[in-house]
Structure 1
Amino acid sequence: MIAAFEGWNDACQAATNVIRHLVSRYDSQEVCHIDNEGFYDYQVARPMICSVQGRKRIIWPQTTFYDIDVSPTLHFLAQIAPEPNYRWEDYCRQTLRIAEDYDVSDIVTLGSMFDDCPHTRPLPLDISKNGCESEPDKEYNGPVGIPNILDTFASDAGFRTTSIWVSVPHYCANTECLQGSLELVRALSLLLELPIIEGDLNRKAAEWRKNADEIVEQTHAGDYLACLERDYDLNAQAQRIASNGMPACEELIREAESFLRGN
């Protein structure tokens, strides 16, 4: 099962747009919902009104599950919803009962968050499996959203779990980040060892990068972007050096000293 939630856990809709992309690219059908009553504050997650053939219809916040036919041997149960406002424990238990009903063995939660990262580099990914960070020295401590809670409940219930988060530049907060969605789709492909159809995500990601270039130019944030790029490149270099073992530490120190001198 793949789950993504609108709101605090979904910077620039990068996570929930993965679910929408999968639904649009594969044979899929709605299979069930979680009753919204008691989970939402309607002053926060507002109902929507729309006209269908001249008649007004109210659309309430709700959780929708899709059965997505990815291959002859693999189906996704995809969950998409606004983040609930209340009763998270009950919500997670209902979610896991549905997962059991559909014989789910693995649960993947997706999220996106704002960060100080440059749009001109691959967007950072944080991946944890069965509650364990891939990089323990960067383990997160702080407030969490419903994906983290669901991941913990699922792990405790015996599901294999993976949590994947992508970082999104905060200076692009007003645009959908399809580059982030593309990074998450590619991470899913590696996790499943199955190429997921990318469709027009590459084109949309390129449009997003172009729009980000324009935002930097219009806000005269070129120096700030250059600083983010230097930090990103130095950190990437440090990781490469560290992976080569202790003898490379002196090179890392020289790189850091050179950076601090502005060379």
Structure 2
Amino acid sequence: MIVALDGFLDAGSAGALACSHLARTGASSAEGGGVVVATFDVDQLHDYRARRPPMTFARDHYEGYEPPRLVVRLLHDVGGSPYLLLHGSEPDTRWEAFCRGVREVIERLGVDLVVSIGSVPMAVPHTRPIAITHHANNPDLLVGEGLWRGELRVPSSAQALLEVRLGEWGLDAQGFVAHVPHYLAQLEYPPATIALLEQVELAARLTIDLAELTPLAAEREEEIGRYLAANAEVADVVAALEQQYDTFARAEAEGSSLLADDEPLPTGEEIGQQFEQFLAGLEGPDDNGGSGRKEG
């Protein structure tokens, strides 16, 4: 079962894009996004005032209310192998009850592995390979060395708690977190989605059709490249991130310190000043009088 919840762990909308892609490509048109085999009562889990669902006001009345959903769908990969997709709004409350509900789904439907995906904003350049943090509640599921050498105190999430609880119940769970350039975190960033789904293929032994995502990723990269070519100050910040990334990579390869002595990473304030117009530049009119396109 693949798990990807909207909200906290979704920089670049990588998980949301993955879910929409899987639902579209993993089901026949007759199924309309796959057969829903389980649903959660979002009224018990969602804080409506914190995350207000959208609806439409049409001239003189309200209509088109889009309630939050949290469902499990039955899908199939390219070769016809079945798998489940748990997706929707991350619960705001009752995380323990949510975990127990997922456990019930797992036991009833005979799930043997849970694979979660997510993404976080990081001070990394978009011109380098997307780093993936791999985690699991069973050491045998881990592949290779992780990126982190010590311990980090991080904000928790429903997905993270689910992995912990499943481990306590003797159920295998692993996950992947993509590192998205933080200056692109508010945009839809297909390269991160592709990187995550490639990991899912390996972990879950699935074959996922990524053909639709590849041109979207290339289009986004070209769009960013055009903007950087026209904005030297922003390009300089990306160059600084590239230098820091390469220094980190060399240190890793040589087994030396991961911190460069004389090459400090730009501060959040410095990067924020350089990129405060980045999104506006991508979304606003281009040089030919057209308009940029925001995705996500």
**What letter corresponds to residue 47 of structure 1 in structure 2?**
P
Are 2:217 and 1:198 equivalent residues in the alignment? no
Q: Distance in 1 between matches of 2:117 and 2:232?
A: 31
Paired residue for 1:69?
A: 76
> Which stretches of structure 1, 4 residues or longer, exceed 4 Å deviation after superposition?
131-134
**Distance apart, 1:215 and its partner CA:** 4.4
Instruction: Give the secondary structure class of the aligned counterpart of 2:55.
Output: strand
The structure where strand makes up a greater share of residues is: 1
Q: Note if contact 2:244-2:263 (Cα within 8 Å) is conserved in structure 1.
A: no
2:39 alignment partner, one of 21, 33, 36: 33
- Segments of structure 1 that go 5 or more residues without pairing to the other structure are 243-248
Paired residue for 2:95?
A: 88
Q: Distance in 2 between matches of 1:236 and 1:214?
A: 27
Assess, with a 3 A threshold, how the Cα gap between structure 1 residues 138 and 228 changes in structure 2: closer, same or farther.
Answer: farther
Q: Distance in 2 between matches of 1:228 and 1:207?
A: 22
Give the alignment's TM-score, normalised by structure 1: 0.84
Paired residue for 1:231?
A: 244
Q: Note if contact 1:172-1:215 (Cα within 8 Å) is conserved in structure 2.
A: no
1:121 alignment partner, one of 104, 128, 136: 128
**What letter corresponds to residue 156 of structure 1 in structure 2?**
E
Q: Distance in 2 between matches of 1:191 and 1:33?
A: 25
**Distance apart, 1:162 and its partner CA:** 0.8
Kindly, what percent of the aligned residue pairs are identical?
Answer: 25
Paired residue for 1:246?
A: none
**Distance apart, 1:75 and its partner CA:** 1.6
**What letter corresponds to residue 242 of structure 2 in structure 1?**
E
Give the alignment's TM-score, normalised by structure 2: 0.76
Are 2:224 and 1:212 equivalent residues in the alignment? yes
**What letter corresponds to residue 238 of structure 2 in structure 1?**
L
1:99 alignment partner, one of 90, 101, 106: 106
**Distance apart, 1:55 and its partner CA:** 9.4
Are 2:41 and 1:42 equivalent residues in the alignment? no
Q: Note if contact 2:116-2:176 (Cα within 8 Å) is conserved in structure 1.
A: yes
Q: Note if contact 2:248-2:260 (Cα within 8 Å) is conserved in structure 1.
A: no
CA deviations on 1:2-21 (whole Å, 9 max, x unpaired) are: 11111121112101211211
Q: Distance in 2 between matches of 1:37 and 1:157?
A: 27
**Distance apart, 1:139 and its partner CA:** 4.1
**Distance apart, 1:190 and its partner CA:** 2.3
Assess, with a 3 A threshold, how the Cα gap between structure 1 residues 186 and 84 changes in structure 2: closer, same or farther.
Answer: same
**Distance apart, 1:138 and its partner CA:** 4.7
Q: Note if contact 1:45-1:82 (Cα within 8 Å) is conserved in structure 2.
A: no
Are 2:146 and 1:146 equivalent residues in the alignment? no
Q: Note if contact 2:4-2:116 (Cα within 8 Å) is conserved in structure 1.
A: yes
**What letter corresponds to residue 185 of structure 1 in structure 2?**
L
**Distance apart, 1:71 and its partner CA:** 5.7
**What letter corresponds to residue 123 of structure 2 in structure 1?**
D
1:173 alignment partner, one of 168, 185, 206: 185
Q: Distance in 2 between matches of 1:204 and 1:189?
A: 20
CA deviations on 1:208-233 (whole Å, 9 max, x unpaired) are: 21222244444721221111111111
Q: Distance in 1 between matches of 2:252 and 2:107?
A: 40
Instruction: Give the secondary structure class of the aligned counterpart of 1:110.
Output: strand
Paired residue for 1:14?
A: 14
Q: Note if contact 1:46-1:61 (Cα within 8 Å) is conserved in structure 2.
A: no
Paired residue for 2:115?
A: 108
